Amino acid sequence: MRKLLLCLLIGAVAVMAESKSVYDFTLNSIDGQPAPLAAYKGKVVLLVNVASRCGYTPQYTALESIYEKYKDRGFVILGIPANNFGGQEPGTNQEIKTFCSSKYNVTFPMMAKVSVKGEDTTPLYQFLTDKAAHPQTGGEIKWNFTKFLVGPDGRVITRFEPEVTPDAPQVTSAIEKALSSLKS
């Protein structure tokens, strides 16, 4: 009987994980306002955990460049600051916003700082890194500037590790492929 209940529970959890999408989550914007990710339904989204004092921080330039290139075709980048790796995002949300706009001219949406690893991981990143729900793209975030490409249905298409730059051919071709699925 206990085995049957356990199997049913595991099955229910698996169904819940499968039925969820990125659009089921809400973060706060960098300005502290609720930002339901459902607002991006129908778009191709690149979620990136960012940091201002990281060796990968110059990727903001490439992020802004691909955002400008594809935004009119239904593409959006969401910058999600996190201070989980080496204290490389210690600032307040206002300091992060000022840094991103003044140093890198960031115009894509920025969210409020969250945790992407550990006991206080935000629910969105619990979902993204869940290996059972996402066997191909799940797994612990290893460092800043991990990128998740999400399709217009809110499902994760692929994941790129920090060393893969946002303008790398494999990233831009994945974005273009996802954008080609949008209705014109």
What's the rounded mean pLDDT across residues 81-105? Answer: 96
HSE value, Cβ hemisphere, 13 Å, CA-based, for 163 = 1
Give catalytic residues, as residue numbers: 54
Task: Judge whether 145 lies within some domain.
Answer: yes
- Whether 3 maps to a domain, the answer reads no
pLDDT exceeds 70 at position 86: yes
- Please write the tens of the pLDDT for every residue from 122-135: 999 999 999 998 89
Say if 17 falls within a structural domain.
no
| Predicted local distance difference test score (pLDDT) of residue 181 | 87
Task: Report the C-alpha gap between 137 and 149 in whole angstroms.
Answer: 10
Q: Provide the whole-model pTM.
A: 0.89
| Identity at 89, one-letter amino acid code | E
Tokens found for residue 48: 């990136």
CB 116 within 8 A of CB 147: no
Give me the CATH number covering residue 100.
3.40.30.10
Q: Dihedral through CA 90, CA 92, CA 93, CA 98, nearest 10?
A: -90
- Here the tokens at position 126 are 């619990």
Give the residue numbers spanning the domain of 73: 25-179
Per-residue pLDDT of 4-40, as tens digits, reads: 444 444 444 443 444 589 999 999 999 999 999 999 9
Residue 110, pLDDT score: 98
For the chain, how many structural domains are there in total? Answer: 1
